[in-house]
Structure 1
Amino acid sequence: MWERSPDETNASWNAFCMYRDYGVDRGILKAIALNGISRTRYGVWCKWSAKFDWVKRCGAYDVYLDGLKRAEREREYGEREKMYQKITEKVLSIVEKRLAGFDPEELTQSNVIDWLKNSIDIERTIFGKAHAADGNGSGDGKPISGQLEINFVQDFEGL
């Protein structure tokens, strides 16, 4: 739809491309000014815009570009999710090694519960399952959004 129409002249096609490439807040006067074209061409551009349906074509082009951007964001999100999963596996492996080295008599019930809760919370956050009712105090039940921060404590140094 945003491709060149068979009856579109070189001049009208070039004008359309300048208008199209201006972006979502485009306008004929804006495109003319940006490209250093005389304002006397405004009337001609308006006629071309009506004849070749510039607004509709640019709308379709904007939807197309948005689809490309969304696909890229989804691809990046998938890659990031895989990376977070690998990090979680490494952290759980470190915790497992650390726990194996402890004398069971040295572990308190509180330590074990805290480690377990933190591990579950991290995993739920990574996989998008954390909700406000899970412990941030608001109790609204909405998913928690934001950046996950993992701090490695001294207990993990040297492993």
Structure 2
Amino acid sequence: MDAPAPWERQPGEPARAYTNFCLYRDLLPAERSLRKVAERVAESSSKPRRVSAVVRQLQRWSSRWRWVERAAAWDAELDRRRREAMLKEARETQERHLRMARAMLTIVARRLQQIDPAELTPKDAARWVQVAAELERLALEQPTAVLEHRGTPAEQWINAILEVWRRRQAGGEGGSGADRSA
């Protein structure tokens, strides 16, 4: 049979000792002391008890049942549980953001196929894609910026689209500017 966790009742530990250990364990670490537990015990007792007498009893139990060590184990367990919950929440947030980014990219791609090119400027289309792609990169924990001044891939893509658009407006490759209404 496995031994109980340190913060649980130990084999042979009297119920009163364990009850008082729980009071000790559940205090904030910065406030944890036998005196504080003794004050609570004395206040809640049906018989008048001196705090000093309660402290002496608690000292015996604390020493015998390793309260300091067990409370430290409890603190470590709470910290582990908090970190685990934080990691789970971070993973769920990442997955949710990734789903949203992919949905946005799908919507933008569909919308771009339905739009009359005359209604949407290349700059607008590039901005839609840039925002969705950046959200996707954030969700995948990929870098969203480049330290060199060459620009991000999205910025380079926007500039390429703008260059093609400028050439078309100027009557260059892909048709003349006369083909488009202003």
| TM-score, normalization by structure 1 | 0.68
Measured in 1, the distance between the counterparts of 2:127 and 2:36 equals 60
Displacement of 1:130: 4.3
Aligned positions of 1:65-104 closer than 5 A: 65-104=78-117
Measured in 1, the distance between the counterparts of 2:106 and 2:126 equals 17
Indicate yes or no: 2:53 matched with 1:43: no
Query: RMSD of aligned C-alpha atoms?
Result: 2.5
Distance 1:61 1:83, change over 3 A: same
> Who is 1:19 aligned against?
24
How many aligned residue pairs are there? 134
Indicate yes or no: 2:123 matched with 1:110: yes
Measured in 1, the distance between the counterparts of 2:79 and 2:85 equals 10
Displacement of 1:60: 0.8
Aligned partner of residue 29 in structure 2, secondary structure: coil
Aligned partner of residue 84 in structure 1, secondary structure: helix
Displacement of 1:10: 2.4
The one-letter code of the counterpart of 1:65 is L
Deviations 1:84-136 (A, max 9, x none): 222222211221122112223444342333223222222122233345x559x
| TM-score, normalization by structure 2 | 0.61
> Who is 1:30 aligned against?
36
Identical positions, percent: 28
Measured in 2, the distance between the counterparts of 1:32 and 1:100 equals 75
Measured in 1, the distance between the counterparts of 2:134 and 2:108 equals 15
Measured in 1, the distance between the counterparts of 2:25 and 2:98 equals 41
Displacement of 1:62: 1.4
Larger radius of gyration: 2
Indicate yes or no: 2:8 matched with 1:3: yes
Stretches of structure 1 lacking an aligned partner (at least 5 in a row) = 136-159
Distance 1:71 1:33, change over 3 A: same
Stretches of structure 2 lacking an aligned partner (at least 5 in a row) = 1-5, 148-182
Measured in 2, the distance between the counterparts of 1:17 and 1:134 equals 53
Runs of 4+ in 1 over 4 A off after TM superposition: none
